[in-house]
Structure 1
């Protein structure tokens, strides 16, 4: 009986043994080009099986992979090169090839290793050696490189597999960029679980929905833009999504109205989860009995605490403060190294997220410490105001941010992408009816779309800069 496929891409299929052999072959090529244990290898490639092969080939040699997003522009690539200083490069992107010597994934077919590469028995890398450098979202400034060791990333895979209850019976698809921590984590977790996965060249909503139907996908991954797109799809009922056990919502807190709309139209429920590049799996809902008002309980192997922003002391159950975490899946630090200063509090990772953990361990996020809006001495969480605005039937998407308002204070502004005729005054009144008066927007700005990262995180910095610059352009 032939070995079952582990990965599908367009018309091609790869068994786990085939991927392993191809990784060994490429490892030999990289070794001949001088890649050694401890080196950093930049990888800038589109969604394709060779991406998976290249990551595993570098790991075979004990090298660390630096993930470059194929959507980056020249300035972003140059910044990433300065921060991480990779000695070698692999990929299919002309931008990286123009900045340093790069082994192009299309220069010739990647061949399986027919015999062990001479002089390279591929010893197991040291657990504390760097395996992966992935860039943080950079919503408030230039992104930092997050360092994961072989031990920390293996722990993240182990924790994610347990959280999702993923088994060899599951079938998933990857349409989001594997250069993001969640994309690579999903790939490696599927391989570790023996699950079948389809890798898509790019995200296309109709293709994703059709693939759920034809490939009988059992677990779907979504971020906010994907959830919004499914909820607003005019013909989503025409797709058979009955094979899905659930849809996982990550990267940003759930918008209940969007999630409930998808469930009403498809019959599929959600499993909200919470993670970060620095600690990929922080909390997750149970696969059965998930709640939309919480990102779940701490993931296996993760400890959480809430610290008071006023005293710096641990807060009690249900009290709001900064979420802090520790785990064997936590990053080793940042590059540049000085960026690590302030990231930890006595061994606890400071997430920068504001929220609370109740007596039952359920985690609720309310905002970001750097994104909290200070109005007349009060703290306003953008997510709280956004949740109210999302309840209006003609609000397709929205984001809330603060602008200077004299005496060191701020005013609340809401950017709204309308899905129908919207009266800004009506939206301001809606928030005023539901929330305290100081949380009411002083202004509603209508925009064509809300700027977001591929992960779904809102670029509030961009909205704020556009608002404050008279030409309307961000810097």
Structure 2
């Protein structure tokens, strides 16, 4: 078993993919088709464009755009110029995104105006480049800078229970080793056609998607917005073989698949939420998939555990598998899942206190998830110590949402919890003590204008008071 990746950096991987796979299709995005060789050339020229714009090794650039060929060229071009990628969630509103752009120290912001009928403005003093219209991509002289495995590759922001997103720092070497292991467990192979529904701003889409495809020579088909009819059309037309996503994706596929030719599908990968045993059975019995992998991962460490081929339905559905190569797992006295291994982040950007709180002196990452281990060493996630809930595959943090709602002049106190939802798994419900006149519809609409849709509460319940314990903390177990 390899203990290190075969490449020292993501740019080296992209160049290697060009030499190994040459004229094979690397990216299919609508009418745009790029071979691996063409992609590598576009990446080199985009690296030159970044250099011409004054961006040097270690400089950070934020990328606030949907899945597209342009996103891929921009990201790999930036890394080839020695820069550090800061992906930004396209569902974020300006206030949320600008906070990340400013705190990351990004020297430029790349956007795609018009996506979801929005204009993506940058914070004051940060140049904004439109990926589709500004002619920036591929506009420079070909450039390749020396990038090493210990150099920082990206800063991916993830929210925490303090309510403020934290920047997770990861190196090229960590990413490459983790993605090679993911490829092996997911059984990704050369010639696969990989429809990437998971957003590139998330490590599932960016690393287990783009980087993994460069490793194995799979064709990337980026999807900007999930639409089940568009997914079915692409599976048929492009003979898609690999289709990862949250459980909601497969629910939609099963409901709409009648009469469509999905025979090309081979690999399914999920794990963003609890999966019913019956859904696992249906994915493999009613759809053509011959391999279904579930797993457990987090931005701070990548993919930590995964199921193995041959695992029974109950194990695939009820657990998140066994530790991946290079990772250790143990449970603390309170059943919190602790993780140690090569993939654990270098730390949170400019936040040594939060880093020390998350990673103890022995190198164990405290995940905030509560778990159990079965007799075969498989991990089962049983709860979330950090009060997080998952909306359609996206992590939502009550403290962050509460912070936004408290900015409304009619909100005196608020507590947010996750409640069950048939389609999305969980959604947010806010318990509000008002200080003025406001309706449920008005407050929900106000929230949707100021935060990502998955964060905005779907239900509001007004209370005259919230249940508090002796120290003044809200007892959320008494809210439902």
So what's the TM-score if we normalise by structure 1? 0.73
In 1, Cα distance between equivalents of 2:279 and 2:373: 24
- Would you say 1:126 and 2:148 are equivalent positions? yes
SS of 1:65's partner is strand
CA distance in 1, matches of 2:161, 2:68: 27
Q: In 2, distance between residues paired with 1:116 and 1:51?
A: 18
Shift of 1:66: 0.6
Whole-angstrom CA distance in 1 between matches of 2:102 and 2:29: 33
Q: Distance in 2 between matches of 1:155 and 1:111?
A: 28
**What does residue range 297-446 of structure 1 map to in structure 2 within 5 Å?**
297-309=322-334, 321-337=335-351, 338-345=353-360, 346-371=362-387, 415-417=419-421
Q: What residue in structure 1 maps to residue 412 of structure 2?
A: none
- 1:285 correspondence with 2:307: yes
Distance 1:418 1:155 in 2: 37
Paired residues of 1:45 and 1:92 also in contact (CA < 8 A): yes
C-alpha separation in 1, matches of 2:310 and 2:220: 22
Pick the aligned partner of 1:466 from 460, 463, 474: 460
CA deviation after TM superposition for structure 1 residue 227, in Å? 3.1
Going from structure 1 to structure 2, the CA distance change for 1:110 and 1:75 (only over 3 Å counts) comes to: closer
**1:197-276 pair list within 5 angstroms:** 197-231=220-254, 233=255, 235-266=256-287, 268=289, 270-276=292-298
Count of residues in correspondence between the two structures:
385
Q: Deviations over 1:227-253 (max 9, x none)?
A: 33234x2x3232232322231112223
Q: Secondary structure at the match of 2:243?
A: strand
Task: Specify whether residues 257 and 168 from structure 1 end up closer, same or farther in structure 2 by C-alpha distance, changes over 3 A only.
Answer: same
Shift of 1:143: 2.0
SS in 1 for 2:85: strand
3-state secondary structure, aligned to 1:42: strand
Provide the residue aligned with 2:193 in structure 1: 171
Q: Would you say the 8 A contact 1:236–1:265 is kept in 2?
A: no
Please list the CA deviations of residues 177-217 of structure 1 after superposition, one character each: whole Å capped at 9, or x if unmatched: 10111110111101111112211232111111232233222
On the 8 A contact 2:49/2:138 being kept in 1, the answer is no
CA contact (8 A) 2:49 2:139 kept: no
Q: Which residue of the other structure, out of 144, 148, 156, is the alignment partner of 2:166? A: 144
8 Å Cα contact 1:154-1:329 kept in structure 2: no
Deviation for aligned residue 1:116: 4.3
Instruction: Provide closer, same or farther for how the CA distance between residues 184 and 205 of structure 1 changes in structure 2, counting only shifts above 3 A.
Output: same
Asked if 2 retains the 8 angstrom alpha-carbon contact of 1:275 and 1:283, the reply is: yes
Change (3 A) 1:260 1:217: same
1:376 paired residue number: none
Unaligned ranges ≥5, structure 2: 1-20, 114-118, 391-395, 399-416, 424-443, 466-480
Q: 1:101 aligned to 2:127?
A: yes
Contact preservation (8 Å) 1:325, 1:351? yes
1:110 pairs with 2:137: yes
Instruction: Work out the CA distance in 2 between the residues paired with 1:166 and 1:340.
Output: 33
Note closer, same or farther for the CA distance 1:418–1:43 as it changes in structure 2 (3 Å cut): closer
Secondary structure, aligned partner of 2:261 = coil
Check conservation: 2:112, 2:120, Cα contact below 8 A: no
What is the CA distance between 1:161 and its match in structure 2? 1.4
Corresponding residue of 2:6: none
TM-score by length of 2: 0.72
**Distance in 2, Cα, partners of 1:190 & 1:141:** 34
Residue number in structure 2 paired with 1:192? 215
**1:41, 1:88 within 8 Å by CA — same for their partners in 2?**
yes
Distance in 1 of aligned mates of 2:221 and 2:82 = 27
* Structure 1 residue runs without a partner (length 5+): 310-320, 373-381, 384-398, 402-412, 420-447
Alignment CA distance shift 1:247-1:21 (3 Å): same
C-alpha deviation, 1:264, in angstroms: 4.8
- Give the 3-state SS of the residue equivalent to 1:89 in structure 2: strand
Quote the Cα distance in structure 1 between the aligned partners of 2:317 and 2:422: 24
CA distance in 2 between partners of 1:214 and 1:7 (Å):
15
Query: How much does 1:144 deviate?
Result: 1.4
Q: How much does 1:262 deviate?
A: 4.2
Shift of 1:153: 1.4
Instruction: Give the structure 1 partner of residue 404 of structure 2.
Output: none
Cα deviation, 1:28-57, whole Å, max 9, x if unaligned, reads 111111101111111112221111111111
